[in-house]
Structure 1
Amino acid sequence: MTRRTDGDQDVHPDPEERPDGDRTFSALLEDSTEDLYENAPCGYLSTLLDGQIAKVNTTLLNWLGYQRTDLVGRRNFSDLLTVGGRLYHETHFAPLLRMQGEIRGVALELKAADGSRLPVLVTSTVKTGDDGQPLLIRTTVLDAHDRRAYEQELLRTRREAERERERLRQLTTTLQKTLLPPALENVPGLDVAAYYHIASVDEVGGDFYDLFPLTAGTWGLFLGDVCGKGAEAAAVTSLARYTLRAAAVYDPDPAAVLGNLNTVLHHEYNGTDPRFCTVIFGLLTPDDEQGGFRITLAGGGHPPALLLRADGTADYLPTPGGQLIGVLPDAHIATTTFRLDPGDTLLLHTDGLTEAHTAVRGDRYGDEALLDLGRALAPATAQRTVTAIRDLLDTLGAGVDDDTAVMAVHVPRAGRRSPSSRS
């Protein structure tokens, strides 16, 4: 029967007065402290301060396959550990326990009677007497089989992800190489150097360049940057490169070449996923009588080229107002014509260089800084110019968050010749 207080609140009845269907509650009340210790869902053991096992519960004995008499008074706790665990216990676990009085959740392995290993998590505390002096060590042992299996699965998954990432890197590197010329053409009377800086090995960039022969002793060169990264950008890059070369054969006028590329890109990518690029295209014609080259450059939304003169001056070439290639049906193309005399160097670059972050928070490298670098370098060979840019990119480090392509062409002075190269 149920007793009530004056406030009509139910109180727990005596176990003997509960219905027969509620015998579980009585069984719980009758569960002894010793039984809870012996058959707990975890292992318990107590050791003396020197590590000798003084008490161990049935759960841990069953896990390890020992009889109580095998361990109590005969073995130390460290005897149950593997060689590596014993070393860790002596050098880290035991000293920390002495200093702190408690150590929690340490992963170890126990050796079972049959030689098998049991992964466990161990927590130990030092019991002290009324005088504060340590008396013994109490240790709780949790079975870590499931956790170990989970950790191993995580490790396997991580290794597989790393292998997949490496395969992706190799694929990205291979694809990137196919978007660049295997070697720059050897132009008589001209030294050329180029460099491609990859900002991320995980994604294909959209920067591209090339130098190739045309009819009647002329040469074409271009350098550009496709919007975006990845496979989509790579497809546009490939289309742009081959379109530029084909258009230059059909009509080498730089403005016409970029106009043809604009028509192709606008036709192919004017839907829900528009694609565009910036490009600078040049037509090089050697001047056999005066030496050097006559160059016409056309710019479509691209950073202006930098001209380093033999007299030590440097300045940007005027190609203002050139519009992005592929955005509008009829893009405005800006052109300029100039001479590249002996000792002069022409530097083309993508905006990954000038938009790189510097050590000053929030600042970008910028056009003025590049112009200052050019003035400090001039006069310089193609290779020296590209090497300086490469060193600069290395100095900026992680601040260069976009791929960067640079190409320099240089007319050597009489009696000087350095090999054309591409880094």
Structure 2
Amino acid sequence: MCRTGDEGEGADAHRDERSPDERAQFAALLEDSVEDLYEHAPCGYLSTLLDGKIVKINNTLLGWLGERRDDLVGRRNFSDLLTVGGRLYHETHFAPLLRMQNEISGVALELKAADGSRLPVLVTSTVKRGSDGQPLLIRTTVSDARDRRAYETELLRAREEADRERDRLQRLATTLQQTLLPPALASVPGLDVAAYYHIASVDEVGGDFYDLFPLAAGTWGLFLGDVCGKGAAAAAVTSLARYTLRAAAVYDPDPAAVLDNLNTVLTHEYNGTDPRFCTVIFGLLTPDPDRGGFHITLASGGHPPALLMRAEGTADYLPTPGGQLIGALPDACIATTTVHLAPGDTLLLYTDGLTEAHINATTGDGERYGDDALLDFGRALAPTVAGDTVAAIRDLLDTFGAGVDDDTAVLAIHVPRLPGGEQK
């Protein structure tokens, strides 16, 4: 029967369309013997008896080692090819695990070449068993790990360099942070003072700041604030705010006027697309010769209210309603309040890193410490003194652990009781 034209075309479609060179290459691959593949594989192969005696080794591994086959086969053990440390590891870990598991893979070792050089390798070994289940020999594959070792070495070098750079930046951040805080608070006759700065991250400079300093005879100024943001930009605003507050207080110590001056400076210095603002509470302290203790007038620019812990054991916030962020608006509303600090009273100023800390950081439930909890804390603490107040706050922050995600500054001032507990 004759084939139709369609059938002929279909048969032609199945013809080998490869070029002669491609067919020759494919034929060469088919003729590649198993023995040749073993000898010139891209990894090393060797077989040993159960006692480690080498009975077979391929040309690839011999080339890496620079050894002759006759010098190894039947004469030396696999462990003889290892460095001293590798031999110790092989005897104490590798070989015992292989006997128990019948296979062990990807173990990093070093081989000792004939010229004394070291060759990092990854070793995989399996136990071959006979038909009766008894172990006959050990087959081992050796992979060249020089590129991997070079990569790991470079990675380690880069990691060490990054660690050194991180340490340098941390030291720089710590040094810069210290320059933004007073080295020591002024000593005020008739007043005990304590302060603390809790750093949330050693990698970044925070924006919290405080100070206590003398003004005219018999008066002292104090402030505590929190700049929005972190890092070098926040540090620049912190420095500007701190020195502006001190200079403005010398010119006009009225707390509202001091904050108004700071607001003017910030709105003029930072405007347009890069506004910078902060919350600040500023106080003016003057002794009260008639009743003892001190008068303090506080002005707040959007700052959390101060906590007053009285000598009789009560505690309440000193509200300064209506105070707006400093630097946010050209004409900020500044709220003030005046209070008498009697002997035995303690006033606590703080930044919101305290009240906004997560109390259950490990569970990640997002619950904040909050203003109510701090008020309860103050009521349980009163009556107290400045040092004990700051110590209690430090302990409280420690209980939050990683839940404190913002720097926290606290400043406590206490009017000591007169000798014998009597008040003037």
Task: Verify same fold: TM over 0.5.
Answer: yes
TM-score relative to the length of structure 2: 0.93
Post-superposition offset of 1:416: 8.4
Question: How big is each residue's C-alpha offset from its partner over 1:284-305, in whole Å with a ceiling of 9 and x where there is no partner?
Answer: 0011232100000001100000
When residues 266 and 67 of structure 1 are mapped into structure 2, their CA distance, relative to the original with a 3 A threshold, is: same
Of 388, 395, 416, 1:391 maps to 395
Match of 2:264 in 1: 263
2:147 maps to 146
SS in structure 1 of the partner of residue 405 of structure 2: coil
- Tell me whether 1:364 sits opposite 2:365 in the alignment: no
Verify: 1:401 aligned to 2:379, yes or no. no
Q: Deviations over 1:60-84 (max 9, x none)?
A: 1111111111111111111111122
Q: Secondary structure at the match of 1:215?
A: coil
Tell me the equivalent position of 2:344: 343
Matched residue SS, 2:312: coil
Q: Match for residue 75 of structure 1?
A: 76
The percentage of aligned residue pairs carrying the same residue is 81
Q: 1:21 to 1:393 in 2, by over 3 A?
A: closer
**Other-structure match for 2:58:** 57
93-102 vs 339-348, which deviates more? 93-102
1:328 matches 2:329: yes
SS in 2 for 1:275: coil
1: CA distance, partners of 2:21 / 2:164: 63
Question: Within 2, Cα distance between the matches of 1:151 and 1:239?
Answer: 46
Is the counterpart of residue 218 in structure 1 residue 222 in structure 2?
A: no
Alignment of 1:101-120 (within 5 A): 101-120=102-121
2:315 and 2:300 map into 1 onto residues whose CA distance is 19
For residue 38 of structure 2, what is the aligned residue in structure 1?
37
Please give the alpha-carbon distance, in whole angstroms, between the structure 2 residues aligned to 1:358 and 1:416. 40
For the structure 1 residues 11 and 105, does the alpha-carbon distance in structure 2 shift closer, same or farther, using more than 3 Å as the test? farther
Cα-Cα RMSD: 1.9
Change (3 A) 1:408 1:20: closer
Deviation per CA, 1:145-190: give whole Å up to 9, x if none: 1111010000000000000000000000000000000000000110
1:410 aligned partner: 414
Aligned partner letter, 1:248: A
Give the secondary-structure state (helix, strand or coil) at the position aligned to 2:122. Answer: strand
Letter in 1 for 2:277: F
- How far residue 9 of structure 1 moved from its aligned partner, in angstroms, is 4.8
Tell me how far apart the structure 1 counterparts of residues 44 and 309 of structure 2 sit (CA, whole Å). Answer: 79
Q: Which position in structure 2 is the counterpart of 1:186?
A: 187
Instruction: Give the residue type in structure 2 aligned to 1:236.
Output: V
Tell me what 2:162 maps to: 161
Residues 174-253 of structure 1 mapped to structure 2, 5 A cutoff: 174-253=175-254
SS across alignment from 1:274: coil
1:330 and 1:75 map into 2 onto residues whose CA distance is 90
When structure 1 is superposed on structure 2, of 37-46 and 95-104 the one drifting more is 95-104
Amino acid at match of 2:240: L
**1:275 alignment partner in structure 2:** 276
Q: Quick one: distance in 1 between partners of 2:233 and 2:262?
A: 17
What letter matches 2:401 in structure 1? G
Cα distance in 2 for partners of 1:74, 1:415 equals 95
The alpha-carbon distance between structure 1 residues 197 and 88, as it changes in their structure 2 partners (threshold 3 A), is: same
Shift of 1:85: 1.2
- The aligned residue for residue 4 of structure 2 is none
Where structure 2 has 5 or more consecutive residues not aligned to the other structure, the ranges are 1-7
SS state at 1:352 partner: coil
* d(CA) in 2 for partners of 1:318, 1:270: 30
Deviates more, 1:337-346 or 1:64-73: 64-73
Give CA deviations for 1:211-235 in whole Å, capped at 9, x if unaligned.
Answer: 0001131100000000000000000
**211-220 or 171-180, larger mean C-alpha shift:** 211-220
- Tell me which moved more, 214-223 or 228-237: 214-223
What SS does the aligned partner of 2:333 have? Answer: coil
Q: 1:21/1:230 Cα in 2 relative to 1: closer, same or farther (>3 Å)?
A: closer
Q: CA separation in 1, counterparts of 2:353 and 2:158? A: 35
Alpha-carbon separation, structure 2, partners of 1:146 and 1:124: 21
Q: Which residue of 2 aligns with 1:378?
A: 382
Map of 1:420 onto structure 2: none
Distance 1:277 1:137, change over 3 A: same
**Aligned partners of 1:288, 1:82: CA distance in 2, in Å?**
85
Per the TM alignment, residue 18 of structure 1 is displaced from its structure 2 partner at its CA by 7.5
Does 204-213 or 371-380 show the bigger shift?
371-380
Corresponding position of 2:310:
309
Cα distance between partner residues in 1 of 2:66 and 2:216: 88
AA aligned to 1:83 is V
Residues 366-389 of structure 1: CA distance to partner in whole angstroms, max 9, x if unpaired?
A: 111111111111111100000000
**TM-score when normalising by structure 1:** 0.93
What CA distance in whole angstroms lies between the structure 1 residues aligned with 2:91 and 2:375? 64
The answer on 1:354 being equivalent to 2:358 is no
Aligned to 1:287: 288
Give the drift of 1:137.
1.1
Identify if the C-alpha distance between structure 1 residues 210 and 18 changes in structure 2 by more than 3 Å, giving closer, same or farther. closer
Cα distance, 1:325 vs. partner?
0.6
**Residue aligned with 2:391, SS:** helix
**Partner secondary structure for residue 152 of structure 2:** helix
Q: Amino acid of the residue matched to residue 113 of structure 1? A: A
Give the partner amino acid of 1:369: A
* 1:193/1:66 CA distance change after superposition, 3 Å: same
Question: Aligned in 2, Cα 1:42/1:319: closer, same or farther, shift over 3 Å?
Answer: same
In the alignment of these two chains, the number of paired residues is 411
Offset, 1:21: 7.0
Which of 8, 14, 25 is 1:10 aligned to? 14
